[in-house]
């Protein structure tokens, strides 16, 4: 006789458990949808951003960063190549609209001020350049200056070709963390 009330109690708890499980599934589903809409996992191909970012690194690309906020000097970005928009490149923003960019003897100057670039292992001493960044465009460089196809080659990048900002490397595990 004592088993009957226990069974009734168990049956009464089942709908609550199912509802809780259903809510959990909905939250996980919403999380997956938000992740897909906000971020994109991308594999880096090439060495243009070494020594900080290596060939084969997995990075998260934040697609909403430039919808909700502005582009900043020093941002690491994924962009569509202006010469072939089917290709994505990863580069660092050096010049913003209206900036004067000067490169001489491997040193980069923005509006006459030398740019401090701890992320560059070896500057490219062959490049000489002086230009002003056009409205709604950005001047980008790879950190591996001697082996990078960037604004020195393909010109300034229109804002519409910026796909998103890169703040996080997720693979390999020993180097996972913030992208500086």
Q: How far is CA 178 from the centre of its chain?
A: 10
Answer yes or no: is pLDDT of 4 > 80: no
Q: What's residue 117's pLDDT?
A: 93
Q: What's residue 63's pLDDT?
A: 85
More confident residue, 94 or 31: 94
Which residues have a Cβ under 8 Å from the Cβ of 142 and sit 6 or more positions away? 48, 49, 90, 91, 92, 148, 149, 150
Q: What's residue 37's pLDDT?
A: 57
Nearest to 156 by CA among 174, 177, 141, 171: 141
Q: What's residue 141's pLDDT?
A: 96
Query: pLDDT tens for residues 122-155?
Result: 889 999 999 999 999 999 999 999 999 999 999 9
Q: What's residue 90's pLDDT?
A: 95
Q: How far is CA 56 from the centre of its chain?
A: 15
pTM of the model: 0.78
User: Which numeric CATH code is attached to 44-178?
Assistant: 2.10.109.10
Please report which confidence band the pLDDT of residue 71 belongs to, taking 50, 70 and 90 as the band edges: very high
Q: Residue 72 — φ and ψ, nearest 5°?
A: -125, 150
Please report which confidence band the pLDDT of residue 41 belongs to, taking 50, 70 and 90 as the band edges: confident
The pLDDT of 57-77, averaged and rounded, is 90
Answer yes or no: is pLDDT of 32 > 70: no
Q: What sign does the dihedral 154-156-162-164 (CA atoms) show?
A: positive
Q: Which CA distances in Å does 19 have to 6, 14, 26, 29? A: 20, 9, 10, 15
How high does pLDDT run on average in the chain? 85
Task: Break the chain into its structural domains and give their ranges.
Answer: 1-39, 44-178
Express as a percent the part of the chain with pLDDT over 90: 53
The pLDDT of 71-100, averaged and rounded, is 95
Please report which confidence band the pLDDT of residue 42 belongs to, taking 50, 70 and 90 as the band edges: confident
Catalytic residues: 48, 91
Are the C-beta atoms of residues 47 and 55 closer than 8 Å to each other?
Answer: yes
Nearest to 52 by CA among 148, 132, 112, 121: 121
């Amino acid at each position: 006789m004592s088993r009957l009330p226990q069974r009734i109690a168990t049956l009464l708890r089942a709908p609550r458990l199912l509802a809780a499980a259903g809510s959990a599934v909905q939250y996980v589903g919403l999380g997956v949808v938000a992740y897909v809409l906000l971020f994109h996992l991308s594999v880096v191909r090439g060495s243009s951003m070494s020594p900080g970012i290596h060939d084969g690194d997995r990075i998260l690309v934040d697609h909403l960063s430039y919808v909700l906020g502005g582009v900043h000097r020093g941002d690491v970005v994924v962009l569509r190549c202006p010469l072939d928009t089917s290709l994505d490149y990863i580069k660092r923003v050096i010049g913003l609209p209206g900036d004067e960019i000067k490169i001489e003897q491997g040193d980069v100057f923005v509006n006459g001020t030398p740019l401090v670039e701890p992320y560059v292992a070896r500057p490219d001493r062959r490049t000489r350049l002086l230009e002003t960044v056009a409205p709604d465009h950005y001047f980008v460089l790879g950190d591996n200056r001697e082996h990078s196809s960037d604004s020195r080659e393909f010109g300034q990048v229109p804002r519409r070709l910026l796909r998103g900002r890169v703040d996080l490397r997720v693979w390999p595990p020993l180097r996972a963390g913030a992208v500086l």
